[in-house]
Amino acid sequence: MQLFVNGKEVVLSGIQTVQDLLAHYHLQQKIVVVEKNKEIVERILFDTTGLSDGDRIEIVHFVGGG
């Protein structure tokens, strides 16, 4: 499957859901927020939200800032 994740094109296999994508990056325990095609995916729906070819995903978190 071809996805755009944080602005980069990636080709991944075996990924069906947002949860799968986060597991691929070992992010299951991290505090992150996911946007799929500009819509926020609720945390409780990570494992039921499917991904399709061409989806644009943003995975964001909190960083130091003023």
Partner 1 sequence: MGDHWKIGNVEFRSRLLLGTGKFADLDVQSQAVAASETEILTFAVRRLDLDRPQAENFLDRLDLQRFTLLPNTAGAYSAEEAVRIARLARATGLCDMIKVEVIGDPRTLLPDPIQTLEASRQLVEEGFIVLAYTSDDPILAKRLQEVGVHAVMPGASPIGSGQGILNEHYLRFIIEEAQVPVIIDAGIGSPADAARAMELGADGVLLNTAVALAEDPVKMAEAMKWAVLAGRQGYLAGRIPKKRYASASSPTEGMIE
Chain residues that interact with partner 1, rule: CB under 8 A: 5-8, 25-27, 30-33, 35, 38, 40, 42-43, 58-66
Q: Which residues contact 39 (CB under 8 A, 6 or more apart)?
A: none
According to DSSP, the β-strands at 39-41 and 33-36 are antiparallel
Nearer to partner 1, 50 or 60 (CB): 60
27 in Cβ contact with 59 (< 8 Å): yes
Nearer to partner 1, 14 or 38 (CB): 38
- How near is the Cβ of 50 to partner 1 at its closest, in Å? 19
